Amino acid sequence: MKNYNIYKQAGLILGPILFGLIYFGFLSIVNPEIDKVVAVAVWMVVWWITEATHIAVTGLLPLTLFPILGIMTLKEVTPNYSSPMIYLFFAGFIIALALEKVNLHKRIALSILKLTGTNANGIILGFMIATGLMSMWISNTASTVVMLPIAISVIKLLIDDEDGFTKGDKNFALAIMLGIAFSANIGGTATLVGTPPTVFTLGYLESQHGITIGFFQWMKLGVPFAILMIAITYFILVKIVYPNHLGEIKSSGNIIQNEYDKLGEMSRGEIVVMIIFFLTALSWILRSKINVWFPDLKLSDTTIGMVAAMAMFIFPLNFKKGDFPLDWEDTSKLPWGILILFGGGLALASGLENSGLIKMIGDYISTQENWSVFFITSILITLMLFLTELIGNIALVTILIPLVAGVAIGLNVPMLNIIVPATMAASCAFMLPMATPPNAIVFASGHIKVVEMVRVGIILNIISVLILMAVAYFIVPVLF
């Protein structure tokens, strides 16, 4: 049964009301031309925040309203819904779907857990590494769902042992649950297909400013950042906030081995998907070199992704039976709405750009001589990171990234210096259960209270801001 509460009901009505008040001049924001786009933006923001309707339906508003209001023609709006970055993310969805269908993601995760041993802190680290690695390639929700039942089985060993559920046991349970959720959030920042905010930002930069960032180019920043954040998270969880002092956990190795044994021998499907996945990742990493070796190919990250996606449907596992890693029916599980949301976000950004609002923000910032680049960058990163605790990160990025671009123009600094860390900040939500699906999933396990998540999350949020400031000033200018 749907939970369509008063909050959502109010949002459904408030969105179009605010649109009407702004559009017809009862609430003047800037000027009549810019206010037309702002009116649509406010409507979208209200629906996104209140979740009055599905995010994809909100994403269709620019396609519906922009031509009617004379903001952009239909011919100008529709290319935003077919950006190459959208197809890159679509390809990532297909690859992730294949990994999940053949259970390869679970085999990889369990193999990592087997390597980290039966020491309590080693088990926590193993879960975090496995979850982070999976989240680089599949959704953070799926990563969390795979790891959670295994973690609960290990925790149950401590609940059922002779000394009962001690404080050390409780701290272990908290650390392993929070470690899974936070690693799922962090892991997505490592690659272009790991998390929706990255895809939107890259699509926006490409369509509005002609700036392209390659898959490997992003990984050179994303992978070290993810490794550092997971290491810091692990240290804070097991050494500072929730130390357990448990040492070896008997039978935990048996649970992990039993889960692994259930998978049986690697199937032909797993082997085929693993080869396609490995070749795809390798091609993304070596794309620039491949284009030098074979200049006629002119490979892009999206092209490589689409070749891999096609391979999942056409590489036979059993030629006579017509078995393939994926059938088209499997795509019913894909989050198609996210792709439409990307299109709507890019269309809104395009409307804001064309209306002159972004230029106006840039002009205003450029006249503020007392505003330092350091101060503005820190405010934007902090704002993005803490707001994502309350607003879905993709909706937040869609709203703020075009405005951040205007600020960068006004400050006369390279756009990527601010936009890249601000985008990564949108995936660093550690304080509240509603901030991300992984946070919500582990909270629902019953082993965590809100205050216990906040206790660690506030520390990680502050550390994330400091690290992303360093990224903005010392790393991005070198890599991009």
Taking the alpha carbons of 164, 431, 237, 452 in that order, is the dihedral positive or negative? negative
Q: For each of the chain's 480 residues, which pLDDT tens digit applies?
A: 567 889 899 999 999 999 999 999 888 888 888 899 999 999 998 998 888 898 889 999 999 999 999 999 999 999 999 988 889 889 988 998 998 899 888 888 888 888 877 788 999 999 999 999 999 998 888 889 888 888 888 888 777 666 667 888 899 999 999 999 999 999 999 999 888 899 899 999 998 999 999 999 999 999 999 999 999 999 999 999 999 888 777 777 788 888 888 888 999 999 999 999 999 999 998 888 899 998 888 899 999 999 999 999 999 988 888 899 999 999 998 888 888 988 998 899 899 888 888 888 878 877 777 778 888 899 999 999 998 887 778 888 888 899 899 889 888 889 999 999 999 999 998 988 878 889 888 888 888 888 999 999 999 999 999 999 999 999 999 998
- Extract long-range pairs of 415-418: CB within 8 Å, 24+ residues apart: 415/205, 415/209, 415/211, 416/205, 416/211, 416/213, 416/476, 416/480, 417/377, 417/472, 417/473, 417/476, 417/477, 418/376, 418/377, 418/380, 418/472
End-to-end CA distance of the chain: 48
Domain limits, the chain = 85-333
Q: Tens digit of pLDDT for each residue in 191-224?
A: 998 888 998 999 999 989 999 999 999 999 999 9
Taking the alpha carbons of 373, 376, 380, 385 in that order, is the dihedral positive or negative? positive
